[in-house]
Amino acid sequence: MEKPIIFAKEPIVLELEAGTYYWCSCGQSKTQPFCDRSHAGSSFRPEMLVLPQKKRVVLCQCKHTEKKPFCDGRHTIL
């Protein structure tokens, strides 16, 4: 099983407009925390995040969260 690359050992807090976003699950994207298709050829797939209205979110950057795409604090034990 492939393991994601840890992009950062801290979450990112963003104020996002309503819309659909694709969170990078592999850690290779150059547009973190969002997917740029760098996962091509791997078993990783982006996680879709749909926001019906503007919202402040705390997204995982270590890529090991169990609540994808949201931070669950797992970065503290990596």
pLDDT at 67: 98
DSSP designation for 74? G
The string over 4-18, giving b where at least 16 C-beta atoms fall within 10 Å of a residue's C-beta and e elsewhere, is beebeeebeeeeeee
The reported pTM is: 0.94
pLDDT at 10: 98
Residue 44, domain member (yes or no): yes
Segments of the chain scoring below 50 in pLDDT: none
pLDDT at 20: 98
**Looking at the 3D structure of the chain, how many domains does it have?**
1
Residue 7, domain member (yes or no): no
Domain that holds residue 42: 12-77
Tokens 């979110």 appear where? 57
Residue 2, domain member (yes or no): no
Residue 53, domain member (yes or no): yes
